[in-house]
Amino acid sequence: DTHGRVVQPPVWELFRTWLPSCPATARILIEWDQDVPALEVLLHEAQLASQIVRESGRANEGVRQPIYA
């Protein structure tokens, strides 16, 4: 993960795998350090993360929605 492009499919799969074991107080950060794209791209990435959290059932347990950085 370079922090300079969209989250790649293997990273989303790792995220899905990690979610069931993450603490309920976990915070999700999508970080972009270089080549920052249009806001629409950033919001889309955050929406993907939110969707994965909802699909996992963890959203009701207090796992927070993504933070933009």
pTM over 0.75: yes
Angle at CA 63, nearest 5°, toward 57 and 68? 120
Greater confidence (16 vs 23) lies with 16
Using CA atoms, how far apart are residues 40 and 46, in angstroms rounded to an integer?
Answer: 10
Is pLDDT larger for residue 27 or for residue 19? 19
Confidence of residue 32 (pLDDT cuts 50, 70, 90): confident
So what's the pLDDT on residue 25?
78
